[in-house]
Amino acid sequence: MKSQLVNEIGGQRTLGLDPGEEAFAALTAFAVDQKVGNASRKIPIDEQCEVLSAIGDVALDDDGKPSLHVHAVLGLSDSSTRGGHLLEGIVRPTLEVTLVEAPGHLRRSKRPVSHLIDLDA
């Protein structure tokens, strides 16, 4: 069975993928078929949590400005976790971050399907 739309409520569509499917290709085909031009999903967390992992990069965008891209896993008070792109967060009580400057120059370019990073030599 191939990927298929399994639910649609209020502009939110859920796509079901089967074992063995290549996820990126299936999501791209779905976006083309459904004429999805822009989509994201915010997961608000309204409680104090612990940053279990945060990894990402800083790259220059098309305008030459630093662009932050962070993937985070957060531990909640009930021992569950939430993960995804860090879009915003208020530090309470502290947060330590280690930045390692890359030897190359990272540049983030907007592309029609993906937002990949180009390495400039």
Query: Residues 25, 2: contact at Cβ < 8 Å?
Result: no
Query: Residues 57, 66: contact at Cβ < 8 Å?
Result: no
pLDDT at position 117, please?
Answer: 47
- 52-108 tens-digit pLDDT: 999 988 888 888 888 888 999 999 999 999 999 998 898 888 888 887 777 666 666
The token duo for 8 is 């649609």
Let me know how long the chain is. Answer: 121
Which one-letter amino acid corresponds to residue 16?
Answer: G
The token duo for 98 is 């280690």
pTM more than 0.75: no
Which one-letter amino acid corresponds to residue 35?
Answer: K
> Which residues, 6+ apart, have CB-to-CB distance to 114 below 8 Å?
none
Q: Domain ranges in the chain?
A: 4-33, 50-120
